[in-house]
Amino acid sequence: RVTPSVQRLVYQPAVLGLASIRFSDRKLGVDESKDYSLLLPSDESAGILSWKDAVPVDVNPRNLEDRPAGDAIFVASLPSKLSSAKSLQKLEDDFADHLYRNESFNLASNPTLKLFARPGESERDFSVRCQQAAREQRDAAVDQIREKYQVKLKRLEDRLVNQQQQLEQDKAEYKGRMGEEVLSGLASVAGALGIFGRKSGSLRGLSTAATKRRLTSSAKADIAEAEADIARQQAEMDDIKSQKEQDADQLTKQWDAAAGGVQSAKIIPKKADIDVQMVVLAWAPAWEMTYEDARGRSRTETVPGYSVAASAQ
């Protein structure tokens, strides 16, 4: 805790600039105005006056005093460089140029979702809005990818049904061929042994039996081929289902990442939208205090007697 031994109100020369800037962007839906108050210290020891050395202050033009406090003193004389109207006019031009080059209106944006924060919208509310938009676009994209794969699966399912029907027909034909082969074999044996009459020495019976056997083998081969086709068809369908889920998961990850892709969009003012209200000589109040430090040495410090804007603290 510091207890000053001497305390007094002093005035220091400065230049006060007040202006208003309109930030407008039809595409972003922005039409905002912002007030600026800059205080530029300007004592005789100052070199080139530059607005980049100015301090943002909380000043309302209506609250400016037109006379000093009775017990205050002026600790510096007015700089010669500010003694003419021409000098102030140049500072006014420089003030407008400084604002044009250094001030902007920033708002959050999400380029992937093509969203921009509304004026006054909090960062949290904008983040929630991005998440909602990402979910909606994610759901639409996933539905689209699943619909595309569903068309392929429907075509394969129809083909699988036909193949299964063909397999049943092949099995029925094989069963019939087996019966014909057995009967043909029995007839050949009976003819050769003369069981039902005269013994036949012809090879016709054996030839017929061999033909039946070939037909039976062909029917059996058809079954094996149909079963292999069905297995391949089912494997292809399983692959497509797996790929469908992989694509859906990938889309989900992409849109979830898009929800967090928040950046800053900057609106640069037009020179015509910078309204310089005043650039004037001003005497800035300050408190000059003399106190002893921890080692007992006398120190004098000067602290501003006005409110510095929060953005400058």
Q: What is the mean pLDDT of residues 184-198?
A: 48
Task: Give all strands of the β-sheet with 105-110 in edge-to-edge order.
Answer: 115-116, 105-110, 263-267
Query: With 70 as the cut, is the pLDDT of residue 167 above it?
Result: no
pLDDT mean over 6-32? 89
259, 131 in Cβ contact below 8 A? yes
Determine how many CB atoms are found less than 10 A away from the CB of residue 59: 19
For residues 206-235, average pLDDT: 66
Q: Which residues contact 113 (CB under 8 A, 6 or more apart)?
A: 130, 133, 134, 137, 258, 259, 261
Average pLDDT over residues 33-46: 84
Mean pLDDT of 229-250: 81
Would you say residue 11 has pLDDT above 80?
yes
User: Is the pLDDT higher at 191 or at 269?
Assistant: 269
Report whether 9 contacts 305 (CB < 8 A): yes
Candidate ranges 81-95, 169-183, 239-253; pick with highest mean pLDDT: 81-95
Residue 202: pLDDT band by 50, 70, 90 thresholds? very low
Looking at residue 87, its pLDDT comes to 86
Lowest model confidence (mean pLDDT) among 94-98, 104-108, 224-228, 238-242 = 224-228
Q: Is the pLDDT of residue 3 over 90?
A: no
Lookup: tokens for 121: 């919208």
Highest mean pLDDT among 53-62, 187-196, 229-238: 53-62
**How confident is the model at residue 187, as a pLDDT?**
46
Percentage of the chain beyond pLDDT 70 is 79
For strand 115-116 and strand 274-292, is the pairing parallel, antiparallel, or unpaired?
unpaired
Percent helix, strand and coil across the chain, each to the nearest 5: 50, 25, 25
The mean pLDDT value for 8-33 works out to: 89
Q: How many CB atoms lie within 10 A of CB 142?
A: 18
pLDDT of residue 47: 66
Which residue in the block uniquely carries the two structure tokens 């700089």?
79
Helix axes 123-193, 204-259, angle to 10 degrees: 180
Neighbours of 159 (CB within 10 A): 15
Indicate whether 162 pLDDT > 90.
no
* Long-range pairs, 216-220, Cβ under 8 A, ≥24: 216/174, 216/177, 216/178, 216/180, 216/181, 218/177, 219/170, 219/173, 219/174, 219/176, 219/177, 220/174
* Buried-exposed string 171-182: b where 16+ CB fall within 10 A, e elsewhere: bebbeebbebbe
* pLDDT of 193 over the 50 cut: no
pLDDT band of 189, cuts 50, 70, 90:
very low
As a whole number of angstroms, the distance between CA 287 and CA 300 comes to 10
User: Whole-angstrom distance between the N-terminal and C-terminal Cα of the chain?
Assistant: 22
